Amino acid sequence: MADPENDIDVLRGYKYDCFNPDVLLKMKVQNGRAISPGGASYKVLVFPETNFGAAGERKELAILLKLEELAKAGVKIIMPESNQRTGSS
């Protein structure tokens, strides 16, 4: 069993938040920042591990298209290269 006292807090010193795909799909961009429906503002969106396919094929496509839209509007998005769209068909 894991010992919480030995855990390393890799996010120490950083502010972070978590949200579900439904929130992501409703985000708007203002001044290069992603704005959630609740008003939270994000300069960078980081997806350390992604499994958009778990949301279903239709939602996976919607998520990827939304990330592309946010990126084109100036939001910095960091995610594993295997999930980034290449634009090739």
CA 4 to chain centre: 27
Confidence at residue 59, expressed as pLDDT on a 0 to 100 scale = 82
- What is the rounded CA–CA span in Å between residue 17 and residue 39? 13
In the chain, what are the domain boundaries?
18-77
pLDDT at 89 over 60: no
Tokens encoding 81: 């290269």
Confidence at residue 48, expressed as pLDDT on a 0 to 100 scale = 78
- The per-residue pLDDT for range 20-78, each reduced to its tens digit, is 889 999 999 999 999 999 999 999 998 877 677 666 677 888 988 999 999 999 999 99
Q: Is the pTM of this model over 0.85?
A: no
